[in-house]
Structure 1
């Protein structure tokens, strides 16, 4: 067993870290789940030699990758999917916040931590938590715990959602809607959907970023609920760039002709971001997560995942 104090030599840490990056960039050996798993191996068992770099890179590489994936989203095709996916998204957001509040009281979780976990589950994981936290003046510990809970559940979703989808023979459309609704972070949504298929990836990415737009009203609502009138709404610029990329690929013929290499780079970037996210998880981070908040987040996620899956499976 590897203890919490174990650390490989700095040379071995850098060798393993850079080797995985080179494998991702130069080969097709790693998929989304295995890229995340590689990061977890580095973060937990070997040691991350560049934690600050990984933290920044995971954020910006993911955002750039999402923008690149926008060049694979044809708006005419999106319009053909109808309004059902958007209705599912709005309904799940409302139910998630209400159920999260009930579960938080049931498990005795503090109101702010309950709100952070519920917001992260309802909208877009770590991004929502980071945006909402200043609005409610959450403590550093509350933010760390909420992020830890969401990260663990995201890692599980990345591995098990495609398996469940194949077992139930979900269509590309059904899986794309389900992933966008029931998985927290954009990275895991895109990762799971990309493993399932290109059509699922396009739909899941579009609905997920539409879901992320709810960050703005959520921050304002959070400020009102916790009576902090000085909250500043930070609208993610990469969402606007994603929309712009979709517009260009739809209406500008030249852009469509060069979209293929951009999409290839974007998918490589997605794998890198998942590796960086996993590499920044450590045993000390896991120890900060107490049982009650984790049970709240886990049960909330299971309820939302199962309910949305049932609705999509039978009526989607």
Structure 2
């Protein structure tokens, strides 16, 4: 505990600070998760004693992150798919395919590493930072890549909060159309809420419901990439010679995550308990991302370069266009 406590305490302090600042900023413009990463990076630049903090920061960035993801499952409910209808699911299938297939092609074109490219695709396809954070432990992503992926998707979201309502009014979109479009194409939940409610109250309610449905895609996405990463490890020359232990590398926390979602779907959690678990999950994830920020060296950003950022902007723009077209064809 003596080795872990300083790093854990520092991560929790940054998480609390980021949460306070995020609540102080009006309109949910910037989430606590993104703030925590940036504060962590700044703290590392100013003063960071590796001997004192590393053990606890490592624990928070790995173990606490998995704990947060497990609790996140309690806020998911499969029955919401029935509420939004089959047409929404069709739109989501198109946008998910666009994000992951388009992300694969752009990753190849810009020579972006496999892990970073797919985290950007997951953040674009599903729900920004939460999806990236959920995927990171499964594919054993580098902390610098996690920070980069969340930062790049966040910057697009900030732009869309302003641009989406303007485009909606210029094109004379109705509330239903705009709600489906924003809910299926803007990355982070807070950004969806900010942009859609800026357009209208009705559009905001529709967009929020659609976005909650989209968040459910975390489950199959993480399971699929867990399988893909396992197969990729088997193909490594050093792994062929040694026996790979499936039990040790299987992401068991995802099983608990799915179990929590199933229990909530069957109504075994009260609304009060769900809200409490969601609150704990959010703060734990903010603390974990603060720890990731503390572990991120800005030199790694400069080494990564601008190509992943361009990759993220192009992919998010592509998803926005495809979403608009599919909503026009399916929803009308």
TM-score range, shorter chain: 0.5 to 0.7
1:218 and 2:234 matched: no
Q: Which stretches in structure 1 are left out of the alignment for 5+ residues? A: 1-10, 105-112, 134-141, 184-188
The change in CA–CA distance for 1:294 and 1:84 in structure 2 (over 3 A counts) is same
1:156 and 2:167 matched: no
Give the SS at the match of 1:33.
coil
- CA contact under 8 A between 1:176 and 1:203: conserved in structure 2? no
Aligned residue runs from structure 1 range 43-54, under 5 A: 43-45=41-43, 51-52=57-58, 54=60
Q: CA deviation at 1:272?
A: 4.5
The change in CA–CA distance for 1:119 and 1:290 in structure 2 (over 3 A counts) is same
Q: CA deviation at 1:306?
A: 0.5
Q: CA deviation at 1:159?
A: 3.9
Aligned residue runs from structure 1 range 57-76, under 5 A: 58-71=64-77, 74-76=80-82
1:262 and 2:260 matched: no
1:277 and 2:294 matched: no
Aligned residue runs from structure 1 range 158-237, under 5 A: 159-169=158-168, 171-179=178-186, 183=187, 189-190=188-189, 192-193=191-192, 198-220=208-230, 222-223=232-233, 229=240, 234-237=249-252
Task: Name the residue aligned to 2:324.
Answer: 313
For residues 277 and 307 of structure 1, the distance between their equivalents in structure 2, rounded to whole angstroms, comes to 27
Q: CA deviation at 1:262?
A: 1.2
- CA contact under 8 A between 1:145 and 1:288: conserved in structure 2? yes
Q: CA deviation at 1:161?
A: 4.5
Q: CA deviation at 1:308?
A: 0.7
For residues 89 and 184 of structure 2, the distance between their equivalents in structure 1, rounded to whole angstroms, comes to 12
**For 1:83, which of 84, 90, 93 is the aligned residue?**
90
For residues 144 and 19 of structure 1, the distance between their equivalents in structure 2, rounded to whole angstroms, comes to 17
- CA contact under 8 A between 2:74 and 2:261: conserved in structure 1? no
Task: Name the residue aligned to 1:301.
Answer: 312
Give the SS at the match of 1:173.
helix
The change in CA–CA distance for 1:302 and 1:148 in structure 2 (over 3 A counts) is same
For residues 156 and 184 of structure 2, the distance between their equivalents in structure 1, rounded to whole angstroms, comes to 14
For residues 164 and 85 of structure 1, the distance between their equivalents in structure 2, rounded to whole angstroms, comes to 21
Aligned residue runs from structure 1 range 9-48, under 5 A: 18=13, 21=16, 24=19, 29=24, 33-36=30-33, 38-39=35-36, 40-41=38-39, 43-45=41-43
For residues 108 and 144 of structure 2, the distance between their equivalents in structure 1, rounded to whole angstroms, comes to 17
Q: Deviations over 1:23-62 (max 9, x none)?
A: 959x965758242355233541476766345424651343
The change in CA–CA distance for 1:241 and 1:41 in structure 2 (over 3 A counts) is same
TM value normalised by structure 1: 0.66
Paired residue total: 276
Task: Name the residue aligned to 1:137.
Answer: none
Q: CA deviation at 1:200?
A: 4.3
Q: Which stretches in structure 2 are left out of the alignment for 5+ residues? A: 1-5, 123-130, 169-176, 197-203, 328-332
For residues 305 and 184 of structure 2, the distance between their equivalents in structure 1, rounded to whole angstroms, comes to 25
Q: Higher helix proportion, which one?
A: 2
- CA contact under 8 A between 1:100 and 1:114: conserved in structure 2? yes
TM value normalised by structure 2: 0.64
Q: CA deviation at 1:14?
A: 6.5
